[in-house]
Chains A and B, each alone.
Chain A
């Protein structure tokens, strides 16, 4: 497009939201990116002012503004604490879509979102190949995977101390499931999400084990697509529509009480982003049903299955990191801790600033690895200071980031999903 007039026009559609920022600056206390850089352009207030400046044609450099806009983890901490109730995530996602429409996407981005992530079968095949050959990755594959679902680029880029692609992704072990409700009388749909499927299949297996133990039937259709967050946070609204559509088609067929995910980001995307941005009117009823039923796995175990704390305390010390997308977007903070306290052998210890972001934030980690690391280093230090042997969390992206950061700090701490620890004891 690259027509400045059109850009201004599109940005005007954000105006009603932009003006709700009263510029109090209180978000400076919240933003992990600002905490590192100390620059106003990196904090919410600055980004909103820049967008407003662009819309009012007081600023003439869309690319400059876009760069600032991208320096955001979409962690939602500022939004959760904004006195004025500014819908920050919504503003930023819409602005990114506008910028992408204005600038156009890079060929790699197009390939990734439009060809790969929207075609789960192809995507799986390529990654399965990737898993086999990751020792000898060639440059183009590197590039492609690196920019793909930004949340799992880490394994193959730069000097990251990564968790490699799993030798056997979840979908090849368990392509699909359709089991009847057992003792619990409940049936859930299971959406592992890409990171669990391809990097942490053990988390997926843990969820299935736990569900089986509690007599919960599982509907897990074959060929699930990405939740769409990598596409929409890079401004590719069209690919996002396709991914959501593919998932809706799959889950429409099932009959279930809840839709469970072990990924904070997926849960929050389905709960908040799908209804706000998915456009196909004919799917709205199914969409509403799914949105209504989606639940984080630990929230399901504690709220629905009533898993409750043990009387006796164990000896294995475990601390917990609050994934932003669970805490800020869904308000899930108590249940994962309850689940840990309900896990035999676990002694729960709280770390300092458990709620602060780990610095992963999807494509942020890719685009601003240095900054992401600086934020992550703080997290790693808090984990180390807690003296816990294991850090547990509810977001596989956080797991990757913390593994990277702890490994760099030379700390031998285990990084596990809360549900894995629980499943270990069943």
Chain B
């Protein structure tokens, strides 16, 4: 008796769940309305910029009423994993926010991306440097619409400079003198720490090019004329050790967010980082006055270089069911309207031709970019494992913690990159 009762309860439950599932399905009339509308999925790692992108998508929708775009942002550190799992599983988005250089190659080489050369005509107007990061090294085709480039700079607190009577340094000696003055005044001169290895790669990108001979060395290195054990590169790394006395106490435990906090709360006078920080700095502390300068040079009169790189691009999934709609959206992203909107709102240096920088900060970046040099590891050595970036990040931690010297740093980087980089073989 009890058994029969239990069985009937079970049957009821099953029946109920079947009906409940059926109830969620939409009626045929609704389906028809949806059919006329093409919905594109657009994935990104920019969780900070969701509102800005949604706003931009609204502008696109006004011009293209038949196309809807659904923007989803994943956490930066998980984006690669989520995206590659989805693409492999055949459920990737139509529009993909792509990282540049090696990050693009991950998806371009196995054929997961649609070449855009003839799909987005506006790409022809982009500068060669801008599309480099969105071009596959294997077939030379363009797979993305570049959206912004980044410059590596030194931020300084203007109020502190005024109070201490400092001026923007040109040479390394002047820079160190400024740091020393700050330290004596009881202010932590540099916000930079070493817990997150990638912030050290940025540090290297700001300081070292003016010591290793910027573009000349980069050309020699990528053509295989020289390698990482070159004294020019090795001695440039030793300059980073000279900055240690001016970093916060126990700086090896200072993570990226601690660095930002130190600068935003005006507890540190300088922040050596990338141009992408500005939007966040201004949003967190609108009262703070800051400006940027490029890494100092060895002696007065030298050309002053700043490392620059393409931050990313917008690409199209090769498997998309709506290639025309996706192409329309990417063409919109390549238009000066979208470029101008993103530049104005993200405070990022747009690569879209014809964008006017009204913001003084972006104007300054434009000036610094007149003498730009490729951000060495990202532009040149992030195409296979182990990437030059992952090697330099960890070894710089070793260097700054004094557990290895500059010779060991360059030996390890060289040995790692040589396992896959043909010109070194």
Do A and B share a complex?
no
Name B residues whose Cβ lies closer than 8 Å to a Cβ of A. none
